[in-house]
Protein backbone atom coordinates (compact mmCIF):
# COMPACT_ATOMS: atom_id res chain seq x y z
CA UNK A 1 0.00 0.00 0.00
CA UNK A 2 2.85 2.39 0.89
CA UNK A 3 4.67 1.60 -2.36
CA UNK A 4 1.53 2.42 -4.31
CA UNK A 5 1.24 5.76 -2.51
CA UNK A 6 4.82 6.70 -3.33
CA UNK A 7 4.38 5.74 -7.00
CA UNK A 8 1.23 7.89 -7.10
CA UNK A 9 3.08 10.90 -5.65
CA UNK A 10 6.08 10.36 -7.93
CA UNK A 11 3.77 10.23 -10.95
CA UNK A 12 2.53 13.75 -10.18
CA UNK A 13 5.96 15.16 -9.35
CA UNK A 14 8.11 13.75 -12.13
CA UNK A 15 6.82 16.07 -14.88
CA UNK A 16 7.05 19.41 -12.98
CA UNK A 17 10.41 18.43 -11.47
CA UNK A 18 11.75 17.50 -14.91
CA UNK A 19 10.60 20.85 -16.34
CA UNK A 20 12.12 22.70 -13.36
CA UNK A 21 15.43 20.87 -13.73
CA UNK A 22 15.50 21.49 -17.49
CA UNK A 23 14.65 25.19 -17.49
CA UNK A 24 16.01 26.33 -14.10
CA UNK A 25 18.69 24.02 -12.74
CA UNK A 26 20.36 23.16 -16.04
CA UNK A 27 20.94 26.81 -17.12
CA UNK A 28 22.63 27.44 -13.76
CA UNK A 29 24.88 24.43 -14.30
CA UNK A 30 25.71 25.61 -17.81
CA UNK A 31 26.55 29.11 -16.54
CA UNK A 32 28.91 27.75 -13.92
CA UNK A 33 30.59 25.58 -16.56
CA UNK A 34 31.01 28.46 -19.03
CA UNK A 35 32.59 30.59 -16.30
CA UNK A 36 35.61 28.29 -16.58
CA UNK A 37 35.97 28.89 -20.32
CA UNK A 38 36.89 31.69 -22.74
CA UNK A 39 33.58 31.57 -24.62
CA UNK A 40 32.75 34.85 -26.38
CA UNK A 41 29.06 34.11 -26.95
CA UNK A 42 29.55 34.87 -30.66
CA UNK A 43 30.96 31.50 -31.64
CA UNK A 44 30.43 27.89 -30.52
CA UNK A 45 34.18 27.54 -30.08
CA UNK A 46 35.68 27.78 -26.60
CA UNK A 47 38.37 26.28 -24.43
CA UNK A 48 38.76 25.74 -20.71
CA UNK A 49 40.77 28.41 -18.88
CA UNK A 50 40.32 27.28 -15.27
CA UNK A 51 39.92 30.05 -12.72
CA UNK A 52 41.24 32.83 -15.01
CA UNK A 53 37.85 34.56 -15.21
CA UNK A 54 37.50 34.52 -11.44
CA UNK A 55 40.99 35.96 -10.98
CA UNK A 56 40.11 38.68 -13.50
CA UNK A 57 36.84 39.40 -11.69
CA UNK A 58 38.54 39.82 -8.31
CA UNK A 59 40.96 42.29 -9.88
CA UNK A 60 38.27 44.25 -11.73
CA UNK A 61 37.52 47.59 -10.07
CA UNK A 62 34.23 47.95 -11.96
CA UNK A 63 33.05 44.62 -10.56
CA UNK A 64 33.73 45.75 -6.99
CA UNK A 65 31.86 49.01 -7.60
CA UNK A 66 28.90 47.10 -9.04
CA UNK A 67 28.98 44.67 -6.12
CA UNK A 68 29.03 47.56 -3.64
CA UNK A 69 26.03 49.18 -5.32
CA UNK A 70 24.09 45.90 -5.47
CA UNK A 71 24.78 45.22 -1.79
CA UNK A 72 23.63 48.76 -0.98
CA UNK A 73 20.43 48.06 -2.89
CA UNK A 74 19.77 44.77 -1.14
CA UNK A 75 20.43 46.21 2.33
CA UNK A 76 18.53 49.50 2.06
CA UNK A 77 15.73 49.00 -0.46
CA UNK A 78 13.87 46.24 1.46
CA UNK A 79 14.08 48.25 4.69
CA UNK A 80 12.68 51.43 3.14
CA UNK A 81 10.14 49.77 0.83
CA UNK A 82 8.71 47.32 3.35
CA UNK A 83 8.74 49.94 6.10
CA UNK A 84 6.66 52.32 3.98
CA UNK A 85 4.38 49.52 2.79
CA UNK A 86 3.71 48.33 6.35
CA UNK A 87 2.93 51.87 7.49
CA UNK A 88 0.57 52.58 4.59
CA UNK A 89 -1.14 49.19 4.83
CA UNK A 90 -1.65 49.59 8.58
CA UNK A 91 -3.16 53.05 8.21
CA UNK A 92 -5.39 51.92 5.34
CA UNK A 93 -6.74 48.89 7.19
CA UNK A 94 -6.70 49.47 10.94
CA UNK A 95 -5.02 52.79 11.68
CA UNK A 96 -8.04 55.08 11.42
CA UNK A 97 -10.05 56.69 14.18
CA UNK A 98 -13.10 54.98 15.63
CA UNK A 99 -16.26 55.58 13.67
CA UNK A 100 -19.92 54.91 14.26
CA UNK A 101 -20.58 51.18 13.89
CA UNK A 102 -16.90 50.25 13.41
CA UNK A 103 -14.32 50.14 16.17
CA UNK A 104 -11.61 49.10 13.70
CA UNK A 105 -11.29 50.95 10.40
CA UNK A 106 -8.76 52.50 8.10
CA UNK A 107 -8.17 56.20 7.61
CA UNK A 108 -10.77 58.17 5.70
CA UNK A 109 -10.39 57.73 1.97
CA UNK A 110 -8.56 54.42 2.39
CA UNK A 111 -10.13 53.00 -0.81
CA UNK A 112 -8.74 55.92 -2.79
CA UNK A 113 -5.30 55.51 -1.22
CA UNK A 114 -5.22 51.83 -2.22
CA UNK A 115 -5.66 52.85 -5.85
CA UNK A 116 -3.01 55.56 -5.60
CA UNK A 117 -0.43 53.26 -4.00
CA UNK A 118 -1.07 50.46 -6.47
CA UNK A 119 -0.99 52.73 -9.53
CA UNK A 120 2.77 52.29 -10.23
CA UNK A 121 2.17 48.53 -10.59
CA UNK A 122 -0.02 49.22 -13.61
CA UNK A 123 2.87 50.87 -15.43
CA UNK A 124 5.64 48.96 -17.15
CA UNK A 125 8.99 49.31 -15.41
CA UNK A 126 10.37 50.75 -18.67
CA UNK A 127 7.68 53.45 -18.64
CA UNK A 128 8.45 54.26 -15.01
CA UNK A 129 12.15 54.62 -15.79
CA UNK A 130 11.45 56.91 -18.76
CA UNK A 131 9.06 59.09 -16.75
CA UNK A 132 11.58 59.62 -13.99
CA UNK A 133 14.39 60.16 -16.47
CA UNK A 134 12.40 63.11 -17.81
CA UNK A 135 11.51 64.25 -14.28
CA UNK A 136 15.19 64.28 -13.27
CA UNK A 137 16.23 66.28 -16.36
CA UNK A 138 18.23 69.25 -14.98
CA UNK A 139 16.95 71.72 -17.61
CA UNK A 140 13.29 70.90 -18.16
CA UNK A 141 12.53 68.18 -15.60
CA UNK A 142 9.58 68.35 -13.24
CA UNK A 143 11.73 68.11 -10.11
CA UNK A 144 13.93 71.14 -10.77
CA UNK A 145 10.94 73.07 -12.13
CA UNK A 146 8.97 72.40 -8.95
CA UNK A 147 11.91 73.49 -6.80
CA UNK A 148 12.20 76.68 -8.85
CA UNK A 149 8.50 77.48 -8.42
CA UNK A 150 8.84 76.99 -4.65
CA UNK A 151 11.83 79.33 -4.56
CA UNK A 152 14.25 76.53 -3.67
CA UNK A 153 16.64 77.11 -6.55
CA UNK A 154 19.57 76.22 -4.33
CA UNK A 155 18.34 72.63 -4.14
CA UNK A 156 18.22 72.20 -7.91
CA UNK A 157 20.77 69.73 -9.21
CA UNK A 158 21.89 67.61 -12.13
CA UNK A 159 20.34 64.59 -10.45
CA UNK A 160 21.45 61.78 -12.71
CA UNK A 161 24.63 63.55 -13.76
CA UNK A 162 26.05 63.88 -10.24
CA UNK A 163 27.99 60.75 -9.14
CA UNK A 164 27.04 61.48 -5.53
CA UNK A 165 23.29 61.65 -6.24
CA UNK A 166 22.63 59.33 -9.18
CA UNK A 167 22.50 56.08 -7.18
CA UNK A 168 20.11 57.56 -4.60
CA UNK A 169 17.87 58.87 -7.40
CA UNK A 170 17.70 55.38 -8.87
CA UNK A 171 16.89 53.87 -5.47
CA UNK A 172 14.08 56.40 -4.96
CA UNK A 173 12.47 55.28 -8.23
CA UNK A 174 12.65 51.60 -7.24
CA UNK A 175 11.02 52.39 -3.89
CA UNK A 176 8.26 54.39 -5.62
CA UNK A 177 7.55 51.62 -8.15
CA UNK A 178 7.48 48.68 -5.73
CA UNK A 179 5.90 49.99 -2.52
CA UNK A 180 2.35 49.66 -3.87
CA UNK A 181 2.71 45.93 -4.47
CA UNK A 182 3.68 45.32 -0.87
CA UNK A 183 0.90 47.60 0.39
CA UNK A 184 -1.57 45.27 -1.32
CA UNK A 185 0.26 42.18 -0.05
CA UNK A 186 0.31 43.37 3.56
CA UNK A 187 -3.27 44.63 3.35
CA UNK A 188 -4.39 41.13 2.38
CA UNK A 189 -2.48 39.73 5.36
CA UNK A 190 -3.95 42.27 7.76
CA UNK A 191 -7.47 41.54 6.53
CA UNK A 192 -7.07 37.95 7.77
CA UNK A 193 -6.19 39.03 11.33
CA UNK A 194 -9.29 38.72 13.56
CA UNK A 195 -10.74 42.11 14.49
CA UNK A 196 -11.30 40.83 18.03
CA UNK A 197 -7.59 41.20 18.73
CA UNK A 198 -7.63 44.89 17.82
CA UNK A 199 -10.84 45.54 19.73
CA UNK A 200 -9.39 43.89 22.85
CA UNK A 201 -6.24 46.02 22.49
CA UNK A 202 -8.34 49.19 22.18
CA UNK A 203 -10.28 48.29 25.31
CA UNK A 204 -6.96 47.95 27.13
CA UNK A 205 -5.99 51.44 25.99
CA UNK A 206 -3.42 50.45 23.35
CA UNK A 207 -2.51 53.10 20.78
CA UNK A 208 -1.54 52.71 17.14
CA UNK A 209 2.15 52.18 17.93
CA UNK A 210 1.49 49.42 20.47
CA UNK A 211 -1.18 47.80 18.31
CA UNK A 212 1.16 47.63 15.34
CA UNK A 213 4.17 46.14 17.15
CA UNK A 214 2.20 43.88 19.51
CA UNK A 215 -0.47 42.54 17.16
CA UNK A 216 -0.05 43.38 13.48
CA UNK A 217 3.68 42.81 12.97
CA UNK A 218 3.95 39.50 14.91
CA UNK A 219 0.92 38.00 13.15
CA UNK A 220 2.13 39.28 9.78
CA UNK A 221 5.76 38.25 10.22
CA UNK A 222 5.75 35.31 7.77
CA UNK A 223 4.40 37.59 5.04
CA UNK A 224 6.96 40.28 5.89
CA UNK A 225 9.80 37.76 5.73
CA UNK A 226 8.66 36.48 2.33
CA UNK A 227 8.30 40.05 1.10
CA UNK A 228 11.80 40.85 2.38
CA UNK A 229 13.32 38.04 0.33
CA UNK A 230 11.27 38.92 -2.75
CA UNK A 231 12.22 42.60 -2.53
CA UNK A 232 15.87 41.66 -2.16
CA UNK A 233 15.69 39.55 -5.31
CA UNK A 234 14.05 42.45 -7.15
CA UNK A 235 16.80 44.79 -5.95
CA UNK A 236 19.47 42.38 -7.17
CA UNK A 237 17.77 41.44 -10.42
CA UNK A 238 15.48 42.70 -13.15
CA UNK A 239 14.13 45.75 -11.30
CA UNK A 240 17.53 47.33 -10.70
CA UNK A 241 18.77 46.38 -14.18
CA UNK A 242 15.84 47.95 -16.02
CA UNK A 243 15.84 51.17 -14.00
CA UNK A 244 19.61 51.69 -14.23
CA UNK A 245 19.82 50.71 -17.89
CA UNK A 246 17.09 53.11 -19.01
CA UNK A 247 17.57 56.04 -16.63
CA UNK A 248 21.30 56.53 -16.25
CA UNK A 249 23.92 57.89 -18.61
CA UNK A 250 26.26 55.30 -20.06
CA UNK A 251 24.29 53.36 -18.79
CA UNK A 252 25.77 52.83 -15.34
CA UNK A 253 27.25 56.30 -15.11
CA UNK A 254 28.40 58.80 -14.44
CA UNK A 255 31.80 57.22 -13.68
CA UNK A 256 30.21 53.82 -12.90
CA UNK A 257 28.38 55.40 -9.96
CA UNK A 258 25.18 53.47 -10.73
CA UNK A 259 26.56 50.25 -12.20
CA UNK A 260 25.01 47.15 -10.61
CA UNK A 261 25.82 43.48 -11.11
CA UNK A 262 22.95 42.64 -13.53
CA UNK A 263 23.90 45.61 -15.74
CA UNK A 264 27.55 44.56 -15.71
CA UNK A 265 26.57 41.03 -16.77
CA UNK A 266 24.59 42.50 -19.69
CA UNK A 267 27.39 44.83 -20.75
CA UNK A 268 30.06 42.14 -20.73
CA UNK A 269 27.90 39.56 -22.51
CA UNK A 270 26.06 41.60 -25.15
CA UNK A 271 28.23 44.69 -25.60
CA UNK A 272 31.72 43.40 -24.92
CA UNK A 273 31.31 39.90 -26.39
CA UNK A 274 32.72 38.35 -23.20
CA UNK A 275 30.03 35.80 -22.39
CA UNK A 276 32.28 33.61 -20.23
CA UNK A 277 33.33 36.54 -18.07
CA UNK A 278 29.70 37.66 -17.87
CA UNK A 279 28.67 34.23 -16.56
CA UNK A 280 31.43 34.51 -13.96
CA UNK A 281 29.89 37.75 -12.69
CA UNK A 282 26.51 36.01 -12.88
CA UNK A 283 27.80 33.29 -10.58
CA UNK A 284 28.88 35.98 -8.10
CA UNK A 285 25.38 37.51 -8.35
CA UNK A 286 23.85 34.09 -7.68
CA UNK A 287 26.00 33.67 -4.57
CA UNK A 288 25.03 37.13 -3.27
CA UNK A 289 21.33 36.40 -3.86
CA UNK A 290 21.46 33.00 -2.13
CA UNK A 291 23.44 34.46 0.77
CA UNK A 292 20.87 37.24 1.20
CA UNK A 293 17.93 34.81 1.13
CA UNK A 294 19.64 32.50 3.61
CA UNK A 295 20.52 35.39 5.93
CA UNK A 296 16.97 36.77 5.95
CA UNK A 297 15.53 33.30 6.53
CA UNK A 298 17.96 32.71 9.38
CA UNK A 299 17.68 36.11 11.08
CA UNK A 300 13.92 36.30 10.61
CA UNK A 301 13.22 32.82 11.95
CA UNK A 302 10.82 32.87 14.85
CA UNK A 303 8.09 30.77 16.36
CA UNK A 304 5.02 30.65 14.15
CA UNK A 305 1.95 32.32 15.65
CA UNK A 306 -1.42 30.75 14.96
CA UNK A 307 -4.70 32.69 14.93
Question: Within a domain: residue 7?
Answer: no
Q: How far is CA 249 from CA 49, 138, 242, 261, in A?
A: 34, 13, 13, 16
Question: Within a domain: residue 155?
Answer: yes
pLDDT score at 43: 82
Specify the 3-state DSSP secondary structure of 31. helix
Specify the 3-state DSSP secondary structure of 102. strand
pLDDT score at 98: 60
Question: Within a domain: residue 128?
Answer: yes
Question: Within a domain: residue 173?
Answer: yes
pLDDT score at 207: 78
Domain CATH number, residue 128: 1.10.3720.10
pLDDT score at 304: 60
Mutual orientation of helices 125-135 and 238-247 as an angle, nearest 10°?
40
Range of the domain at 122: 60-299
DSSP 8-state secondary structure symbol assigned to residue 96: S
Question: CA dihedral in degrees (290, 291, 296, 299; nearest 10)?
Answer: 140
Question: Within a domain: residue 47?
Answer: no
pLDDT score at 10: 77
Cis ω for the linkage preceding 254 (within 30 of 0)? yes
pLDDT score at 179: 92
Question: Within a domain: residue 219?
Answer: yes
From 269, 263, 258, 298, select the one nearest 133 (Cα to Cα).
Answer: 258
Upper half-sphere CA count for residue 258 (Cβ side, 13 Å): 29
State the pTM of this model: 0.87
Question: Within a domain: residue 2?
Answer: no
Number of independent structural domains in the chain: 1
The H or E element containing residue 123 is none
From 4, 7, 74, select the one nearest 290 (Cα to Cα).
Answer: 74
pLDDT score at 205: 76
Question: Within a domain: residue 80?
Answer: yes
Q: Could you give the CA distance from residue 106 to residue 87 in angstroms, rounded to a whole number?
A: 12
Rounded to 5 degrees, what are φ and ψ at 205?
85, 15
Contact by Cβ (8 Å): 157, 254? no
CB-CB neighbours of 246 under 10 Å = 17
88 by Cβ neighbours in 10 Å (0-12 / 13-18 / 19+) ranks as buried
User: pLDDT (tens digit, 0 to 9) for every residue of the chain, 307 residues total?
Assistant: 455 677 777 777 888 889 999 998 998 899 899 999 999 888 888 899 989 999 999 999 999 999 999 999 999 999 999 999 999 988 888 766 665 555 566 677 777 888 888 888 888 889 999 999 999 998 888 999 999 988 888 888 999 999 999 999 999 999 999 999 999 899 888 888 888 888 787 777 777 788 888 888 888 888 898 899 999 998 988 888 999 999 998 889 888 999 999 999 999 998 888 999 999 999 999 999 999 989 888 886 766 655 5
DSSP 8-state secondary structure symbol assigned to residue 108: T
pLDDT score at 264: 93
pLDDT score at 153: 86
pLDDT score at 302: 65
Amino acid sequence: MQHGKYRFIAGFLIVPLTIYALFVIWPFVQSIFYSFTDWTGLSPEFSLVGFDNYARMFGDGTFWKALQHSVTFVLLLPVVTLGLALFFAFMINVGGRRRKGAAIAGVRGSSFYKIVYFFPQVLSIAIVALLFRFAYNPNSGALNSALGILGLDGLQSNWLGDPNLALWCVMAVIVWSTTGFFVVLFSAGMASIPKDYYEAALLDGAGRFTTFFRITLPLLWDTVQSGWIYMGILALGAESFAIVHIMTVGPGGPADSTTVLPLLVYQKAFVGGQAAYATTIGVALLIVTLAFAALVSRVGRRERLEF
